[in-house]
């Protein structure tokens, strides 16, 4: 029988709802403000005071982004590295985690310690850069894929999940003559959807959001991902704002010329930057709801055993 709610329960529920609403407003306002700027006329945006709704609609920022070949090329690089990197890293992580999950693995404790050490101590940027160059991956698309194959945290998380699976599944399959690879692909993988979706989300979001590899190891513009293009737009926006501030303070010269050149145009660097940002995050927003239930279940099950 369900007990009656006390007055204190309603107070606690009200406080929780209020806190969640405040968090929602704090999180959503910057996104809605950025969306409003991307959809607002540049001249009107320059007057300031844009909230969560554009005062003067203008779609030119999105047209400019969509019609820009650099944007589509960078988008293609980002999609390719995300798909290839996620699939290959899932395979590598799964194979290693499956082997480490077995108690009869020779040297199991050594491998566990070997995986923990790099999580606390790393070689640094310069040795990594020299290694990438020595491997011939500098200015190479595969620099996005090969160095990111192994994620130690992901291995530990997946290994923990595999350890929760009944050993009788493998034992019965071995009695029928199945080897470890057959067991892994035909038995373990089909029942490991929660942890696979969780790790896939981790890896996919990393590849989609990463700008470091493209900024350090890539100088060829044709191989730069979307995040580096967006970062370039951010730098342009900062420069334009600085020039406009100089012009506003009576600095004249180039600042005044740039400020005058921007007047009357429906777009600005800031609006194009915001439009590019939203086009970049759309795939993540679409995919995440489908993986959310698996993500939560995978995290909870993967944290049962240490």
Give the C-alpha separation, 190 to 178, whole Å: 16
Under 8 Å between Cβ of 294 and 194: yes
Q: Which CATH superfamily is domain 69-306 in?
A: MetI-like (1.10.3720.10)
pLDDT score at 263 = 54
pLDDT reading at 5 higher than 80: no
Supply the mean pLDDT for the chain: 80
pLDDT-above-70 percentage for the chain: 83
Residue with tokens 């590295």: 81
Q: Is the pLDDT of residue 117 over 70?
A: yes
| Residue range 205-254, pLDDT digits in tens | 899 988 899 889 998 888 989 888 877 777 776 676 676 666 655 554 54
Label residue 11 by pLDDT band (50, 70, 90): confident
Q: Which of 33, 86, 82, 42 is closest to 60 using CA atoms?
A: 42
C-alpha count within 13 angstroms, C-beta hemisphere, residue 24:
6
8-22, 45-59, 63-77: which has the minimum mean pLDDT?
A: 45-59
Of 207 and 289, more confident: 207
240-to-158, 169, 226, 270 alpha-carbon distances in Å: 47, 63, 21, 9
Is the predicted pLDDT of residue 66 greater than 70, yes or no? yes
The first and second tokens of residue 142, run together, are 């595969």
Distances (CA, A) of 208 to 44, 123, 128, 137: 33, 25, 21, 20
DSSP 265: -
In contact, 201 and 293? CB cutoff 8 Å: no
Identify the band that residue 177 occupies on the pLDDT scale cut at 50, 70 and 90. Answer: confident
pLDDT for position 85: 94
Counting Cα atoms < 13 Å in the Cβ hemisphere of 117 gives 7
pLDDT of 22: 92
pLDDT for the residue numbered 235 = 74
pLDDT > 90? residue 88: yes
> Given pLDDT bands bounded at 50, 70 and 90, which one contains residue 84?
very high
Nearest-angstrom CA–CA distance, 262 and 45: 12
3-class secondary-structure state, position 40:
strand
Average pLDDT over residues 179-205: 87
**Percent of the chain whose predicted confidence (pLDDT) is above 90:** 14
């Amino acid at each position: 029988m369900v007990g009656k709610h006390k007055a204190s329960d309603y107070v606690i529920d009200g406080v929780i709802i209020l806190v969640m609403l405040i968090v929602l407003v704090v999180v959503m306002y910057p996104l809605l403000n950025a969306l409003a700027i991307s959809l607002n006329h540049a001249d009107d945006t320059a007057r300031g005071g844009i909230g969560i709704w554009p005062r003067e609609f203008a779609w030119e920022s999105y047209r400019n982004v969509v019609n820009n070949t650099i944007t589509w090329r960078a988008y293609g690089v980002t999609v390719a590295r995300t798909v290839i990197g996620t699939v290959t890293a899932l395979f590598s992580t799964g194979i290693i985690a499956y082997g480490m999950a077995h108690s009869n693995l020779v040297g199991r404790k050594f491998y566990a310690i070997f995986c923990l050490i790099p999580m606390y101590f790393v070689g640094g940027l310069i040795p990594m850069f020299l290694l990438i160059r020595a491997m011939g991956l500098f200015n190479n698309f595969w620099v996005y894929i090969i160095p990111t194959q192994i994620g130690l945290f992901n291995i530990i998380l997946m290994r923990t999940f595999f350890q929760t699976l009944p050993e009788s599944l493998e034992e019965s399959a071995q009695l029928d003559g199945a080897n470890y690879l057959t067991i892994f692909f035909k038995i373990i993988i089909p029942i490991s959807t929660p942890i696979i979706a969780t790790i896939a989300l981790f890896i996919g979001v990393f590849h989609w959001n990463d700008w470091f590899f493209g900024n350090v190891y890539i100088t060829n513009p044709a191989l730069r991902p979307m995040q580096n293009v967006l970062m370039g737009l951010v730098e342009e926006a900062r420069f334009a704002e600085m020039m406009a501030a100089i012009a506003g303070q009576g600095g004249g010269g180039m600042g005044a010329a740039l400020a005058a050149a921007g007047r009357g145009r429906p777009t600005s660097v800031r609006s194009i930057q915001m439009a590019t940002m939203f086009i970049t995050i759309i795939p993540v927003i679409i995919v995440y709801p489908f993986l959310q239930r698996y993500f939560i279940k995978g995290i909870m099950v993967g944290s049962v055993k240490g």
